[in-house]
Amino acid sequence: MLDILQLALAALALSSAGSASPHTVALTSRSIPKGHIPALRRRGLSAVDVPLEDYFSGTDLQWYGNISVGTPPQNVSVVFDTGSSALEFASTQCGSACANQTLFDPSQSSTFISSGKNTTLYFETGVGVTPVIPQNCWLEVVSAEDTISIGGLTAPNVSLFTIVNQSVSFDVDPFSGIQGMSTTGQGFFTGLISQGLPALFGMYLTPRAVGNAELTIGGYDDTKFQGNVTYSNIVAKAEGSWQLPSSGIYVNNQTASILQQPLPIIFDSGTSNILFDTNITEAMYALISPDIQPYANEPGAYGIACSAIANLSATIAVTFTSQDGGRYNLTIPSSELNVGAFADNSSHCQTLINAYDGVRILGGSLLKQYYSVWDISNQRLGFGSNQELRGRLRW
């Protein structure tokens, strides 16, 4: 989920084309896995692995896991969302609008401290694949503090929000809330970092068919990829937002002049689809099929008859520059093109790219092709290749 704050920061970010004489970095090597960074072992707390569940509806939408809140602990589940910047979950103060969620009861926690301030948080992308109409995706929240535990690590007095009302777009999901995982570290992460936990996390966001999705807090899990992690520095002026400058986009090995311009792109684990400006979106679809057309009932969404989608080639490669100046592609296979049928026409299928002027996001559809390392200390984002994940895909 991309919150409004990150959208504003994204707009400030400047692009950069990378080095003048780049070399190529392959993300597909099969070498012996390297260990965790030894320096991490000397710090206060060590890394923990947290199992994640996949919210699947037509496609893989979000990955969520359990945290416990308060004293005695109550369990709630949250999406670990690199596109937003706060911790919030549904509380018993939320009425019928939170009917589908497990609710946290503040009155049962001896460590709960409410500040009583109501705020509304707005999101630019929501839970599903259909584009969000501005102001249509919101949470009404009250600020508070309480103890949070995750994977056996505990942080006291964590700043959080309890959800007291929400737009209908948030009630369909099976999780109670969202833990923002932006580049500054929020919620329980702030508390754990102050206790000495290394300021990085690893994400293994897998397709439903693979399962075993996992978040590693305070490190990364080197059993989940082969070879080295390829890192890129995040865009410096996009504080909060995990943004890398890309130098070009290819679709089915082809490109166009509008696709060969420097473009900062946000990596958002809480958004499923990919989003680009309308002109870039249409240039990409032009390289896939002229039959993919805007869907009038869902502005920003595109679709094609479901019967025509299975055999389309739609390999998308986006080029980035690594810390050592080499170029590499992150790729999305053809099998991601179909994100499921539209609610109002089960014969018409939505396609992966949504048009949204001024917003460029690579979401779960890309992240689930790689192991990703989100390094807050060094303000860089890294990718490791997993042959098992990629070997089973249709390119």
Ligand X SMILES: *[C@@H]1O[C@H](CO)[C@@H](O)[C@H](O)[C@H]1NC(C)=O
* Closest approach of ligand X to the CB of residue 193, in Å: 15
Size of the site for ligand X (CB under 6 A): 47
What dihedral angle (degrees, nearest 10) is formed by the CA atoms of 249, 354, 204, 235?
Answer: 60
Q: How far apart are CA 251 and CA 255, in angstroms?
A: 6
Residue among 11, 286, 305, 343 that touches ligand X (CB under 6 A) = 305
Give the torsion sign (CA, 170, 172, 177, 182): negative
Contact status, residue 46 vs residue 219, Cβ threshold 8 Å: yes
Best CA proximity match to 109, nearest among 160, 49, 58: 160
Residue 282 in the binding site for ligand X (CB under 6 A):
no
Residue 136 in the binding site for ligand X (CB under 6 A):
no
189: CB partners within 8 A, 6+ apart: 179, 181, 199, 201, 217
Residue 327 in the binding site for ligand X (CB under 6 A):
yes
Best CA proximity match to 228, nearest among 115, 96, 326: 326
Q: How far apart are CA 209 and CA 223, in angstroms?
A: 19
Residue among 128, 202, 227, 240 that touches ligand X (CB under 6 A) = 227
Contact status, residue 175 vs residue 62, Cβ threshold 8 Å: yes
- Comparing CB distances to ligand X, the nearer of 236 and 308 is 308
Pairing between β-strand 138-150 and β-strand 113-122 as defined by DSSP bridges? antiparallel
Residue 156 in the binding site for ligand X (CB under 6 A):
yes
Residue 253 in the binding site for ligand X (CB under 6 A):
yes
Residue 164 in the binding site for ligand X (CB under 6 A):
yes
Contact segment (CB under 6 A) with ligand X among 10-18, 165-173, 178-186, 285-293 equals 165-173
Contact segment (CB under 6 A) with ligand X among 6-14, 45-53, 128-136, 370-378 equals 45-53
- Comparing CB distances to ligand X, the nearer of 210 and 258 is 258
Residue among 59, 85, 125, 165 that touches ligand X (CB under 6 A) = 165
Best CA proximity match to 197, nearest among 43, 36, 381: 43
Vertex 39 angle, CA 42 and 198, to 5°: 75
Residue among 17, 45, 48, 258 that touches ligand X (CB under 6 A) = 258
Taking only Cα atoms into account, the Rg of the chain, rounded to an integer number of angstroms, comes to 20
Contact status, residue 353 vs residue 200, Cβ threshold 8 Å: no
Give the torsion sign (CA, 144, 147, 152, 153): positive
Residue 387 in the binding site for ligand X (CB under 6 A):
no
Which parts of 167-205 are beta strand (E)?
A: 177-180, 200-204
Site for ligand X in 97-126 (CB under 6 A): 97, 99-100, 113, 118
* Closest approach of ligand X to the CB of residue 131, in Å: 14
* Closest approach of ligand X to the CB of residue 391, in Å: 14
Site for ligand X in 21-40 (CB under 6 A): 24, 29, 31
Contact segment (CB under 6 A) with ligand X among 4-12, 51-59, 198-206, 288-296 equals 51-59
- Comparing CB distances to ligand X, the nearer of 81 and 183 is 81
Contact segment (CB under 6 A) with ligand X among 81-89, 188-196, 200-208, 327-335 equals 327-335
Query: Cα-flanking dihedrals φ and ψ of residue 335, to 5°?
Result: -65, -10
Residue 61 in the binding site for ligand X (CB under 6 A):
no
Residue 66 in the binding site for ligand X (CB under 6 A):
yes
Site for ligand X in 344-363 (CB under 6 A): 345, 347-348, 357-358
Q: How far apart are CA 155 and CA 192, in angstroms?
A: 6
Contact segment (CB under 6 A) with ligand X among 39-47, 284-292, 312-320, 369-377 equals 312-320
* Closest approach of ligand X to the CB of residue 316, in Å: 9
Q: How far apart are CA 81 and CA 42, in angstroms?
A: 28
Residue numbers at the binding site for ligand X (CB under 6 A): 24, 29, 31, 51-53, 65-66, 68, 75, 93, 95, 97, 99-100, 113, 118, 142, 156-157, 164-165, 171-172, 227-228, 250, 252-253, 258, 277, 279, 305, 310-311, 313, 315, 317, 319, 327-329, 345, 347-348, 357-358
